[in-house]
Amino acid sequence: MEQKTKVNAEDGKQEIVITREFDLPLELLFKAYEEPELFEQWMETKVLKMENKKHGSYAFETSRNGNVVFRANGTIHEFVPNQKITRTFEMENTPFPIQLEFLEFEKLTDKTSKLTMQIVFKSVAFRNQLLQMPFAQGINMAHNRLQEIISKLK
Amino acid sequence: MNLRRDVFQAIADPTRRTILLLVASQSMTAGAIAANFDTARPTVSKHLQILTKCELLKQEQNGREIYYHINAKKMKEVADFIEPFRKMWDDRFNKLEAIMKSKIHGQKNNG
């Protein structure tokens, strides 16, 4: 079966392109990005700020078991409903430099749509490091488990 | 056999990722690894089998014990994989799709 979400990271390029086709009308897809309450649900995060306009800013934080585990923010440079969002993305308290994101929303049919997300990184090395992060998260989980075991021994 | 795909599947499982971390710091016996999990010992053995089969772990006989240690070369290959990143976005987008689909139905019910 063909994968719905595709990630293209060409060797030696400092960008990633993520594409996804949705069984949703374009307006609904865009709404999921535009409305904080909806964004919170699918990103499993808490929106602290979301100013959907040129030079507006946004911020969100993700908690697990009552602890903030991730915070991110950025500035919106272009916001054209049902067409595009251009923004920066900064992960707080990480060594990662700020990223530039180009999101393009397209209508395919009345009931389907497509999102193309181009993420530009400061360097090829930082891009490659970020690609490895979800795997690293698994490793952090293991660290937590280790801590749990050690605290039981005390 | 598609070895790359097998490796993807191997690291897609959180228990197996945890095993890799445990073994990354030092070689361990199956018993020592299993002691870190609440799951039954045969389940952990099954995970060890999978990890060994796709060459992420190597077995080494030391006296009467078999020690598992990490295959650094293969791990490097895994670290370069895009799959976990893709999976993360795929999960998010699946969720987005499900939530917004429920909105369509909600609208119909209200209207």
**Residue B38 Cα, gap to closest chain A Cα (Å):** 11
Q: Is the pLDDT of residue A10 over 60?
A: yes
Beta-bridge partner residues of A85: A79, A103
**Among residues B56, B65, B61, B62, which one has the least CA distance to residue B20?**
B56
CA distance B64 to A77: 65
Q: Please give the structure tokens belonging to residue A1.
A: 């079966």
Residue B1's pLDDT is 42
The residue ranking higher by pLDDT, B16 or A58, is A58
B4 vs A: CB within 8 A: no
* Chain A residue closest in CA terms to B19: A142
Question: Per residue in A109-154, pLDDT tens?
Answer: 999 999 999 999 999 888 887 876 655 554 455 445 544 544 555 4
Question: Per residue in A73-118, pLDDT tens?
Answer: 999 999 999 999 999 999 888 778 999 999 999 999 999 999 999 9
Compute mean pLDDT per 10 residues along chain B, 111 residues long, and list them.
60 78 84 87 92 91 92 70 80 95 71 38
Q: Across the beta sheet with B65-70, what order do the strands follow?
A: B28-29, B65-70, B57-62
Residue B85's pLDDT is 82
* Structure-token match 């390029």, residue found: A13
41-70 of B, contacting A, C-beta below 8 A = none
